[in-house]
Amino acid sequence: MSAPDSVQGGIRCMLMRGGTSKGAYFLATDLPEDPAERDDLLLRIMGSPDPRQIDGIGGAHPLTSKVAVVSPSSAEGVDVDYLFLQVGVDTATVADAQTCGNLLAGIGPFAVERGLVSATGARTTVRIRLLNTGDAATSVFTTVDGRPDYDGDAAIDGVPGTASAIELEVGGGPGKALLPTGHPADDLDGVTATLIDNGMPVVLLRADELGVDGSASPTALEADADLAARIERIRLAAGPLMGLGDVSAQTVPKMILLSPPRAGGAISTRAFIPTRVHTAIGVLMAASVAAALRIPGAVGHDMAGPLDEEDTAIEHPSGTFPSRVRVTTDEAGAWRATSFSRRTARKLFDGTVFPRPRR
C-alpha cells in the first residue's frame, strides 16, 4: 500500500502491550516498501513530532512510541522476521539500530493472530529472526482454539495485573561478539565502562563514579542536565567502539548506571534510553547486565549480590526483573551468552489506523 492511499483507507494495525512497553504491530505487506516512505507514514500514524503525540496513537513516551513490523521469514528454521522501529516522540525520527525485547514478547502471538504461524495445541512455538541485530529468538506461549490466550497468572513488575506467560529465548547470531571491544572494561571520558551486547548494545557505568545515588528516581535523573550531558558524551564515544558508528541520531547504545543491590537482587540499575530514564528495564538490556555480572573485570561484577548459575534478579525503579542468562567462552576464549526471560503481552485493539494527511 502506498502512503497516499492509506490516508483515506487506513492501514491494518494491532496495538499490543509487550512486556513493559506498548507498540503498533504491522504486517510488512501493509506498509510501503520504501523505507523513507514507510518512516514518514509511521510518524504521521504515531503523531510525531509532538511531545503529546496528540494527533496520533503514540503514548507521549519512548516506551509507548514503538513499532513492530512482521513478515514471513525466508531463513531456514525461522518462522517470521521482526523489524523494530523506535519512533521519536518530539522529534521526526524513526530509528532501526536497536531491537526491542519487550515488543518481542508480542511477536509470536501477533504472528498467530495474522495467520503467519498456525497454533499447535495448548502451547505454540514461534521462531523469530530479529532483523535489527541478527539475533534469533524462540517464543513459546499458550494458545486456545487456535488463538493466543492472553489470560493467565503471570505477573511482571511494571505492569499491573496478570496475563499469560510467554517464554523467550534469545541468542546471538553467528560471529556476534558479546564484548564488542574484546575487553571486559574500557576507559571512556575518564570513567570505567563495560561495552556489551547480549541482544541490546549497552554501556554499563558505576553510578558512584558519576556521583549518582543509585536509588535516584527516573524523574530526578532526567532533571540533572550535567549528568545527562556527561552520559551522552560517553555514549557518543562508545558508539564507534561497538561498531555502531556515529550514534548521535540513534537510540543505542543504552546507558545503564549500576549500584549495589538494595532489595535483595543481584544489582540495582537505572537505564538511560538514551535521554529518558526507563521506569523499569528492557528485556534485552537486563540480559546484557546479567551477562556482564558473570564476567570478571566487567562493571558490576565486583558489586553484584550472590549469583547462581543462570538466574539474576535485576533491580530497577519499579521492581525487579528476573533475567536468566547462560554465559560461556568459546574455543578462542571469547565470551558468548544466551538469554531466557518470562514476559507477558496483550492485544489491546485490532483494527484500522488512519494517519494524518501530512506532517
Is the confidence at residue 151, as pLDDT, over 90?
Answer: yes
pLDDT tens column, 85-110: 999 999 999 999 889 999 999 999 99
Mean pLDDT is lowest, of 30-39, 48-57, 225-234, 321-330, for 321-330
The residue written with cell numbers 535521554 in the block is 275
Domains 3-174+344-353 and 186-333 agree in fold:
yes
Q: Which fold has domain 186-333?
A: Diaminopimelate Epimerase; Chain A, domain 1 (3.10.310)
Burial track 16-33 (b if 16+ CB lie within 10 A, e otherwise): bbbbbbbbbbbbeeebbe
Total Cβ atoms within 10 A of residue 246: 9
**pLDDT the model gives residue 331:** 80
Burial track 114-133 (b if 16+ CB lie within 10 A, e otherwise): bebbebeeeebebbbbbbbb
**pLDDT the model gives residue 289:** 98
pTM attached to this predicted model = 0.80
**pLDDT the model gives residue 254:** 97
Domain boundary assignment for the chain: 3-174+344-353, 186-333
User: Which CATH code fits 3-174+344-353?
Assistant: 3.10.310.10
pLDDT tens column, 272-315: 999 899 999 998 999 999 999 999 999 999 999 988 889 999 99
**pLDDT the model gives residue 333:** 82
Confidence of residue 189 (pLDDT cuts 50, 70, 90): very high
**pLDDT the model gives residue 174:** 63
Q: What is the mean pLDDT of residues 112-117?
A: 98
